[in-house]
Amino acid sequence: MKLAVADLARALSRQLAPLYLVFGDEPLQVGESVAAIRTAARARGFQDWELFFVQPGFDWSMLRDSAVSMPLFGGARVLDVRMPDKPDQDGAAFLAEYAAAPSPDCLLVLSAGKLTQDEQKKAWFQACERTGAVVQVRDLTGRALVQWLDQRMNAKGLLADQAGLGALAARVEGNLLAAAQEIEKLHILYGPGAVDVEQISAAVADSARFDVFALVDAVLGSRLVRARRILEALQGEGTPPAFVLWALSREARALAGIIVRTGRGESLDSACARQTALKIFGGHKALIAQAAARIDVERSHTILRLCAAADRKIKGEQIGDAWDGLLEVCAAFCGFPGLRAS
């Protein structure tokens, strides 16, 4: 069975397929589709979750063993298998075999990058399509992108007219992750309600030399001098401190969870995939790895406490300058938790 991304939620509300294959080169939609499947599975009693990252040399027999073994407490399991692209010969053979006789105690959820038309004609792909549901993620352009933006904004309580949606679409086309971040920014800046094209254009303008995401990269890389310079530029450009704090605190929450999991022996890839605060991949993951290697659990808690203090200063609930509070957060990320603005 083939499903469009837009039809996935409705299909999940009716019943679960024995397996799912979600593929495409748009990571936000792939990740959110997999998350929706996991949520639906959990509601139907699939409480256990096993995560597999397919890399060169991956041993598919591990997945076969998990599929046939009885879980420790007898519960149903989700087997979440993440492939960069097509499976190798062993993987293709296993998937064709599994799709022919899926385990009633397992829900196999496969995700992959772009798969060519030739690959979609292979036996493993056809077997998955016959037995389960195949969701192809496509790049959104034109009217489809505008509709997606409208739905995403509505979910945040934001209302925009066609002019505003068009301005936003022109800014983010080809990068849905950036689109999601811009909508989050609009929500923080203006709150629920109507936003016009002038507000949207001002919020997503490219004129600023620095942005909060450059600040996040700087603190993850322990570059305090650069972080301070970016913070001063953001203040000078009139960036709301609440938006800066949103970016820093979101990163702090995600990093704290990753540090705990890697401290228990979990791989970085698995720890990044398990946290839900934000999507982590590419160069961002490399910076997360740097930060997780130098920041321990205690300091991650210090960063979170400083975020809470900065929030109180922004809201006027605590004496102190909001921007000084943000600098203290940046300093803690970079290894100087006692630094105060002078």
What confidence score (pLDDT) does residue 79 get? 93
What confidence score (pLDDT) does residue 220 get? 93
Q: Which residue type occupies 69?
A: S
Domain containing 45 — which CATH number?
A: 3.40.50.300
Q: Compute the chain's Rg from CA coordinates.
A: 22
> Does residue 149 fall inside a structural domain?
yes
Q: Are 9 and 126 members of one domain?
A: yes
Q: Are 281 and 323 members of one domain?
A: yes
Closest CA to 35 of 78, 85, 99: 78
> At 19, phi and psi to the nearest 5?
-155, 160
Q: Are 19 and 45 members of one domain?
A: yes
Q: Are 195 and 295 members of one domain?
A: no
User: Can you give the pTM of this predicted structure?
Assistant: 0.68
What confidence score (pLDDT) does residue 208 get? 46
Answer with the one of 106, 136, 166 that is the final residue of a domain.
136
> Does residue 176 fall inside a structural domain?
yes
Q: Are 227 and 311 members of one domain?
A: yes
Q: Are 108 and 39 members of one domain?
A: yes
> Does residue 87 fall inside a structural domain?
yes
Q: Are 238 and 267 members of one domain?
A: yes
Answer with the one of 182, 203, 224 that is the final residue of a domain.
203
What confidence score (pLDDT) does residue 188 get? 84
> Does residue 339 fall inside a structural domain?
no
SS3 of 15, please? coil
Q: Are 157 and 226 members of one domain?
A: no
Q: Are 319 and 286 members of one domain?
A: yes
> Does residue 340 fall inside a structural domain?
no
What confidence score (pLDDT) does residue 145 get? 92
Domain tally for the chain?
3
Q: Are 117 and 179 members of one domain?
A: no
Q: Which residue type occupies 31?
A: G
Token look-up 């590419």 returns: 282
What confidence score (pLDDT) does residue 337 get? 66
> At 11, phi and psi to the nearest 5?
-65, -40
Return averaged pLDDT per consecutive 10 residues of the chain, 342 residues in all. 92 94 90 92 89 87 84 76 92 94 92 92 96 93 92 94 90 82 86 90 61 88 90 86 91 92 86 73 81 91 94 90 94 79 52
> Does residue 341 fall inside a structural domain?
no
Q: Are 55 and 7 members of one domain?
A: yes
**Which domain covers residue 315, as residue numbers?**
212-333
Residues shown for the chain: 342
What confidence score (pLDDT) does residue 207 get? 42
Angle at 8 between CA 2 and CA 10, to 5 degrees: 120
> Does residue 295 fall inside a structural domain?
yes
> Does residue 125 fall inside a structural domain?
yes
Q: Are 37 and 123 members of one domain?
A: yes
